[in-house]
Copies of this chain bind each other. A is one copy, B any other.
């Protein structure tokens, strides 16, 4: 069994790298959005031409990013969505809803302080964790039956 795992959400810490490194040796294929913040914001206008309006500047970029995001979620068996400490992160919650509607197995990763605000997202998940290492342990268990310790 090969698991396709999409890593959505927060892009300012190294949680993706921790999971990918921890899962070394497991039969997992990871996908992620473009995590270069500047490139992600400006990709639309960089390729399709400048826009005087911020709304259309962002709209062009968000749609171009959606090609990758949709492909990543639709190909995934498991979608991990990480909510960090800062920012609105509505795109993370949007991805979670998108994944849930497609029937993907959803894992949500967030700190305890976000618990109440994320209750609807957590309620749609098959697992909720606080640390990337727990996601690695889940992937290992799902693929091999092995538990930590």
Contact = CB atoms under 8 A, between A and B. Distances in A.
A83 B89 CA distance: 13
Contact of A142 (B67, B75, B147): B67
Given A47-B141, A48-B129, A97 B93 contact: yes
Count copies of this chain in the complex. Answer: 8
A94 to B, nearest CB: 4
B36 A120 contact: no
B100 A63 contact: no
Interface in A8-61: 31, 34-36, 39-40, 42-44, 46-48, 52-56, 58-61
A117 B87 contact: yes
Contact of A120 (B62, B72, B119): B62
Contacts of A53: 56
Interface string A54-96: 1110111111111111111001011000010001111111111
Given A71-B1, A127-B48, A34 B141 contact: yes
Given A58-B116, A97-B101, A126 B67 contact: yes
Residue among A39, A60, A90, A95 having the largest count of chain B Cβ atoms under 10 Å: A90
